[in-house]
Amino acid sequence: MDDTATQHQAAAEIPVDPVEMRKARTARREKIGRWLLPVAVVVLSIAAWDRICVWNEIPHYIIPRPGIVFNALVEDWPLLLGSLAITLQITFFALLIAIIGGVGIAVLFAQSKWIEMSFFPYAVILQVTPIIVIAPLIFIYVDSKFAGLLICAWIVAFFPILSNTTLGLNSADHNLRDMMKLYGATRWQTLRFLRLPASLPYFLGGLKIAGGLSLIGAIVAEFVAGTGGVGSGLAFRILEASYRLNIPRMFAAIILISVSGVLIFMFMTFLSWLFLHKWHESAIKHEQ
């Protein structure tokens, strides 16, 4: 008993470092604020939206109040959910094809500068040409509407994957590349054990961008295809609601699209942390 009391007394007498306490308090506040502040901004924005509609007596067919939008979201949930599923299906299929194609072509570019110089300008052309201009041509030449939507979304999502992965493959430490060559490593061994791991942070950065862009590409393509009679995606529901002046449903569909984009970005951010947090500087928490 005496030994235990002595140990507790000794522990109590250990001085507490004020710097460490300040760091701990700062980390705690940042952790809470990271979630609390965005939620507070959303709540205040919704409250301001509601008050502006009330004070200015804005009709619901121009700008509906948040409560009316929420009711529309609940009442039209089966219809909107089905349309959301179609839009997300196109989004994720296009993103998957963009990943496979972008990484594969980036590896070819890394193996030959001649291939990169020959074909990279065409990838840039695809990126800088607005998809709203290309989409009508695609739906003329492609019989399947789903395939046309997929191509449009893929075009938008493809370039960030390709350019970031190419940059990452070319950013491997040249000293390590020379050392592997000195020890007789083949080109594919250098690619597998050095260049691909070095390109992973760049690829994941491009994936964050491509995730949101694939959703944008799917929505834009649905707008174009919707005029031709394809009306299953959320973009067509927005068009349909605008024609009928069903503005609450339009707002509900827009909110679903925005929430989907945020969730996609959050998932890509988590994926990036999952692969990088143990070794890469961008994901390791440093002491303040």
Is residue 39 pLDDT above 60, yes or no? yes
Asked if residue 234 lies in contact with residue 256, where contact means CB atoms within 8 angstroms, the answer is yes
Query: In which region does residue 186 sit, left (phi positive, over 0), alpha (psi from -120 to 50) or beta (all else)?
Result: beta
Which residues, at least 6 apart from 201, have a Cβ–Cβ distance to it below 8 Å? Answer: 168, 272, 276, 280, 282
Asked if residue 141 lies in contact with residue 198, where contact means CB atoms within 8 angstroms, the answer is no
Can you read off the two tokens belonging to residue 47?
């409250």
Alpha-carbon distance of 269 to 261, in angstroms, equals 12
The type of residue at 25 is R
Which residues, at least 6 apart from 241, have a Cβ–Cβ distance to it below 8 Å? Answer: 247, 249, 250, 253
Radius of gyration of the CA atoms of the chain, in A: 26
* Band of pLDDT at residue 6, cut at 50, 70 and 90: low
The angle, 0 to 180 degrees and rounded to 10, between the axes of the packed helices 196-226 and 131-141 is 70
Q: What is the pLDDT of residue 287?
A: 42
pTM of the model: 0.84
Alpha-carbon distance of 210 to 253, in angstroms, equals 22
Q: What is the pLDDT of residues 53-70, one digit of tens each?
A: 999 989 988 899 999 999
* 121 HSE (CA, 13 A, CB side): 3
